[in-house]
Structure 1
Amino acid sequence: MEIEETYTTNSLTQRISFGLGHIFNDLCAAIWFSYMLFYLHVVLNLESTTAGMLLMLGQLVDAIATPLAGWAIDYTGNKRILHFGGTIAVATGFSLIFSYKHAELTTAAILHYVLAIALFQIGWAVVQIAHLSIIPDISRDHSHSSDLTAIRYTASVCCSITVYVITLFVLNTDDISAIGPADYIKFKEIALIIVFIGLMASLLFYCGLLGSLETNYEIIGEAYDENNLNSNNHEKHFLKQSIIYLVSLMYMASRLFTTLNLIYIPLYLDERENSAEGKSKIRETIATIPLVCYISSLATSLVLKCRGSYCNDKVTYFVGGFIGLVASVWLGLEIATNSDIELYFIAVILGISSSSTMVASLCLTANFVKTNGYGGGLVYSIVTFTDKLISGAVVLLVQHLQCVPKNLCPHYYEHVLTYICGIVSVTGLLSLLCLEIEIRKNGLKNHQQDR
């Protein structure tokens, strides 16, 4: 009885500590995806294409650093040490991004942002892959992997909520004017608060992740199992197997859908306010709309932890992807500028979609790692590579196609959220269909071999 109680206590401590390990990354990511393009374009007054290129640079550096981080983690095995080094890089780079405001756009100013963004993204990639690769190490079975993934996503959602609450308090002053260059100091305050909270969470992660790693794992071997991603060919390198690309495409679609909504909702709100008459409400809605989205996402992630066997990972992803498609279509119906209720309903739907597809795709990835016995670092780096590279390219393309002057395209960002996000949702659903076909094919092979 005493052994069982000790085991339960250690497991709880381990799970809580694990959830703290990616908080700094998640806090910075909420700022990066929700407000960085807005900050560069509206607050620093950079041209649309220049702001898009800087964001693209960050995604490109992140994409290149991700597989290198995966290789380094698998080669050295020092996941926690590399996690610590990445944390220091994140803190330094992120602080430098918000510590400088150029008087005019010079080569030195661009170089400052380039170096700061590169340092931040390299550190971010190392922390992300190190943290993800810990999941297979400390999990005992698929259920435990799912719990750790849900905890990780729940912590991520809580971080985003924290960022939007901080933004609401800092930006929502008595000033009724639109946000502009005068708000540089306020964004700097937000960034410094985020760095402090993130460093404290990382310190608790290093102190609390105790216990030995799990060496035994309950392999899912039944051919008819709904979550079986066994490739049936363990001698074949995982890059030569179609399942890893399908799972990567599903993860990419989930992340890209969430990322594009985070990036362009503030710009869509700014676009919407410019066409409205009367008092500007963007200082409130720029924080409350994403806040509602993430509260909905948090509630969904908690519900997913209690899902039964009837709602496996593929069903969860399908429901989330379909709901996301509905949200994109709804945004395309041109919501009236004097109606915010519909916006909040859409935010709720977006939160449900993001949480469902993200948790499901990460669970499928963890299952693929465990059932096939591959190193977690490289697999996770390949899965996240497509997301980071493609999202940066899409943002750069969208910013490059922006009309000059803006009033020539008064609904530009509305169309981005409708058509591009809708296409991304369809891509994820098609990838899910192909994955189901591949799994059934593997199941048939297993059945024939057993006979």
Structure 2
Amino acid sequence: MSDTERSLPVVRRISYAAGHFLNDLCASMWFTYLLVFYHSVLGFQNTNAGVLLLVGQIADGVCTPLIGYESDRTPGCGNYGKRKTWHLVGTLSVVVSFAFIFNQCLGCDSLTPQWASLVYFVPFIVIFQFGWAATQISHLSLIPELVTCEHAKVELTAYRYSFTVIANITVYAVAYLLFHLQAGGDDPLSDELGPIDIPVFRNLALIVLGIGALFSVFFHVGTTERRKRLEEEEEEAEGERRPLLSRSEPSTPLLQWKCWLKQASFYQVALLYMCTRLIVNLSQTYISMYLINTLQLPKKFIATIPLVMYVSGFLSSFIMKPLSKLIGKCLTYFVGLLLIMAFSYWVLLEAEMGQQVYGAAVLLGAGSATILVISLAMTAELIADQTQSGAFVYGAMSFTDKLANGAAVMIIQALHPCHTVGCCPACVWFYHYVMVVVTGGVAVVAALALCCILIWPIKIRLRESFRHTSALSLSVLENDEETSLYFIAEQEGNTCSGQ
């Protein structure tokens, strides 16, 4: 049994999962605090704050498939490996740009127009999103290269999400401590966010970068990327002692990036992944606004409630593998959707939740963890042994996710009923229904996408021309190997698959 068919050692699983920790820390701040920071702390208008998030999502969406394509075709730096090379480039880009995003515009004052501040922040956001995309795609693309067993992929994805949860817990715990220290220990915390909180977010960003950089070093030291070129050379050395084609195990065609566009399963998984990310990211983005403006809770709750969400998500990640083995990935995903819908219904019925918000946060956290882990496992199942184009698949999935999230945020910000910096009475109900729609409404669409996968399972479907060519090459194998080689060459020209 090869190394990739066995489950990875625990140390290698942990070192792999640590490779996305910096991204997870930064993403937690990005989605949870970006709108709050620019609107409530820096005083940007709702639409301007939405524009900055939209620019980031567009930059990420454009960079992701391009990076996926390039990371599939480039060999990497020396013997370092192409995935780890791109991961290193992305990590450095994040480190040099992220701290500027959660800080004041250098050289700006109260008289500086907002458009000038927007221009200042955009380059840092673009560099950060490029680095984030490079790190994410290279890290995801390692899953089908490190393991081949489906349950091992779910397990590795669960490890990865466990670190995501730990990263979010870290961000919210540090944020709570910073708010508490700012208030002077036992003094009551101020209920309002404002310019006085700029040092809190700046220090939080610097702490995030320091912790994340250490985990990235651990990933690069502890994770070994499989070198396919050496394996191919070993196979070529034994080529003369083996038949050109095996009757029992015919070779699987290698799909190019454009061939994926002809696969129905590619679009099924993309829709499910997009809905999953809409639920997870939009609920994370607007939970702070909901807590402050709708429930009118003190600002410390923008740290404690997300903390409860991700603790419940962390605990639920431990039962992901046995549950998926017992009932399958699709039904496990449906269980997660039920938790999301229960949260949405609870929010819809309770206009003033009070302390009940902690119970609702548990449902949202567990449901989000479940659907995110399973959607990533389904993407790995779609790729299977097509690891040579795996980064493109992950890039395309992420492309739909980023554009959908950016467009959704911009639409929500444009529909905001208040045109002032503060929250008018109308925004109390506005954020109430935003939380209902971005969870329960999108969950319904995700359920429909899941039904499509249940009816038409995830599978790469080969063209009839490919099957016919393979049969011809096998039929002439015994009599004329040169003729067989001709048909193999013809087969390689028809490796795109479709319905």
TM-score category (smaller protein) = 0.7 to 0.9
Q: Deviations over 1:366-401 (max 9, x none)?
A: 011115566110011111111110001000000011
Give the one of 388, 404, 408 matched to 1:390. 404
Question: Shift in Å at residue 11 of structure 1?
Answer: 2.2
Q: Deviations over 1:49-91 (max 9, x none)?
A: 0000110110010000000110111011411111111111111
Q: Report which stretch shifted further, 316-325 or 113-122.
A: 316-325
Q: What is the rounded CA distance, in whole Å, between the counterparts of 2:141 and 2:191 in structure 1?
A: 46
Give the one of 325, 331, 340 matched to 2:341. 325
- Give the match for residue 224 of structure 1: none
- What letter corresponds to residue 132 of structure 1 in structure 2? L
Does residue 65 of the first structure (1) align with residue 69 of the second (2)?
A: no
**Matched ranges for 1:366-377 at <5 A:** 366-370=380-384, 375-377=389-391
Q: Deviations over 1:258-308 (max 9, x none)?
A: 11111111001111354xxxxxx4232111111000000001111113336
- What letter corresponds to residue 105 of structure 1 in structure 2? P
- Give the match for residue 150 of structure 1: 158
- Give the match for residue 148 of structure 2: 140
Q: Are the counterparts in 2 of residues 149 and 359 from structure 1 also a CA contact under 8 Å? A: yes
Aligned pair in 2 of structure 1 residues 322, 308: CA closer, same or farther (>3 Å)?
closer
Aligned pair in 2 of structure 1 residues 81, 166: CA closer, same or farther (>3 Å)?
same
Question: Shift in Å at residue 410 of structure 1?
Answer: 2.5
Q: What is the rounded CA distance, in whole Å, between the counterparts of 1:199 and 1:137 in structure 2?
A: 24
| Max Rg structure | 2
Question: Shift in Å at residue 180 of structure 1?
Answer: 1.3
Other structure's SS at 1:178 match: coil
- What letter corresponds to residue 394 of structure 1 in structure 2? A
Q: What is the rounded CA distance, in whole Å, between the counterparts of 1:158 and 1:35 in structure 2?
A: 17
Q: Report which stretch shifted further, 313-322 or 40-49.
A: 313-322
Aligned pair in 2 of structure 1 residues 430, 10: CA closer, same or farther (>3 Å)?
closer
Does residue 131 of the first structure (1) align with residue 134 of the second (2)?
A: no
- What letter corresponds to residue 381 of structure 1 in structure 2? G
- Give the match for residue 434 of structure 2: 416
- Give the match for residue 332 of structure 2: 316
**Matched ranges for 1:68-147 at <5 A:** 68-77=66-75, 78-101=82-105, 102-103=108-109, 104-147=112-155
Q: Deviations over 1:290-340 (max 9, x none)?
A: 100000000111111333632211011111112211211211113326x22
- Give the match for residue 219 of structure 1: none
Q: What is the rounded CA distance, in whole Å, between the counterparts of 1:244 and 1:301 in structure 2?
A: 26
Aligned pair in 2 of structure 1 residues 110, 156: CA closer, same or farther (>3 Å)?
same
Does residue 335 of the first structure (1) align with residue 351 of the second (2)?
A: yes
Question: Shift in Å at residue 439 of structure 1?
Answer: 1.8
Q: What is the rounded CA distance, in whole Å, between the counterparts of 2:192 and 2:324 in structure 1?
A: 47
Give the one of 253, 275, 278 matched to 2:275. 253
Does residue 435 of the first structure (1) align with residue 453 of the second (2)?
A: yes
- What letter corresponds to residue 25 of structure 2 in structure 1? L
Q: Are the counterparts in 2 of residues 70 and 378 from structure 1 also a CA contact under 8 Å? A: yes
Other structure's SS at 2:300 match: helix
Other structure's SS at 2:224 match: coil
Q: What is the rounded CA distance, in whole Å, between the counterparts of 2:334 and 2:301 in structure 1?
A: 30
- Give the match for residue 30 of structure 2: 32
- Give the match for residue 52 of structure 2: 54
Aligned pair in 2 of structure 1 residues 181, 307: CA closer, same or farther (>3 Å)?
same
Does residue 161 of the first structure (1) align with residue 169 of the second (2)?
A: yes
Other structure's SS at 1:237 match: helix
Q: Are the counterparts in 1 of residues 18 and 215 from structure 2 also a CA contact under 8 Å? A: yes
Give the share of equivalent positions with the same residue, in percent: 35
Q: What is the rounded CA distance, in whole Å, between the counterparts of 1:369 and 1:140 in structure 2?
A: 10
Does residue 204 of the first structure (1) align with residue 218 of the second (2)?
A: yes
- Give the match for residue 265 of structure 1: 287
Q: What is the rounded CA distance, in whole Å, between the counterparts of 2:358 and 2:12 in structure 1?
A: 36
Other structure's SS at 1:439 match: coil
Question: Shift in Å at residue 107 of structure 1?
Answer: 4.1
TM-score, L = length of structure 1: 0.87
* Unmatched segments (≥5 aa) in structure 1: 217-230, 275-280
Taking only aligned residues, the RMSD between alpha carbons, in angstroms, comes to 2.8
- Give the match for residue 182 of structure 1: 196
Q: Are the counterparts in 1 of residues 173 and 307 from structure 2 also a CA contact under 8 Å? A: yes
Q: Are the counterparts in 1 of residues 143 and 153 from structure 2 also a CA contact under 8 Å? A: yes
Q: What is the rounded CA distance, in whole Å, between the counterparts of 1:328 and 1:186 in structure 2?
A: 31
- What letter corresponds to residue 131 of structure 1 in structure 2? H
Q: Are the counterparts in 1 of residues 7 and 147 from structure 2 also a CA contact under 8 Å? A: no
Aligned pair in 2 of structure 1 residues 440, 119: CA closer, same or farther (>3 Å)?
closer
Q: What is the rounded CA distance, in whole Å, between the counterparts of 2:221 and 2:459 in structure 1?
A: 45
Other structure's SS at 1:93 match: helix
Question: Shift in Å at residue 440 of structure 1?
Answer: 9.0
Q: What is the rounded CA distance, in whole Å, between the counterparts of 2:196 and 2:459 in structure 1?
A: 60
Q: Deviations over 1:231-281 (max 9, x none)?
A: 99969911111111111111111111011111111001111354xxxxxx4
Does residue 194 of the first structure (1) align with residue 202 of the second (2)?
A: no
Question: Shift in Å at residue 4 of structure 1?
Answer: 12
Q: Are the counterparts in 2 of residues 232 and 442 from structure 1 also a CA contact under 8 Å? A: no
What is the aligned length? 421
* Unmatched segments (≥5 aa) in structure 2: 76-81, 233-251, 468-499
Q: What is the rounded CA distance, in whole Å, between the counterparts of 1:212 and 1:26 in structure 2?
A: 24
Aligned pair in 2 of structure 1 residues 308, 116: CA closer, same or farther (>3 Å)?
closer
Other structure's SS at 1:332 match: helix
Q: Deviations over 1:166-205 (max 9, x none)?
A: 0110013333341211110111010100010011111111
Question: Shift in Å at residue 157 of structure 1?
Answer: 0.7
Q: What is the rounded CA distance, in whole Å, between the counterparts of 2:313 and 2:320 in structure 1?
A: 10
Aligned pair in 2 of structure 1 residues 396, 299: CA closer, same or farther (>3 Å)?
same
**Matched ranges for 1:216-365 at <5 A:** 237-274=259-296, 281-307=297-323, 309-336=325-352, 339-340=354-355, 342-365=356-379
Q: What is the rounded CA distance, in whole Å, between the counterparts of 1:366 and 1:234 in structure 2?
A: 15
TM-score, L = length of structure 2: 0.79
Q: Are the counterparts in 1 of residues 102 and 202 from structure 2 also a CA contact under 8 Å? A: yes
Q: What is the rounded CA distance, in whole Å, between the counterparts of 1:4 and 1:259 in structure 2?
A: 38
Q: Report which stretch shifted further, 401-410 or 296-305.
A: 401-410
- Give the match for residue 16 of structure 1: 14
Q: What is the rounded CA distance, in whole Å, between the counterparts of 1:50 and 1:285 in structure 2?
A: 25
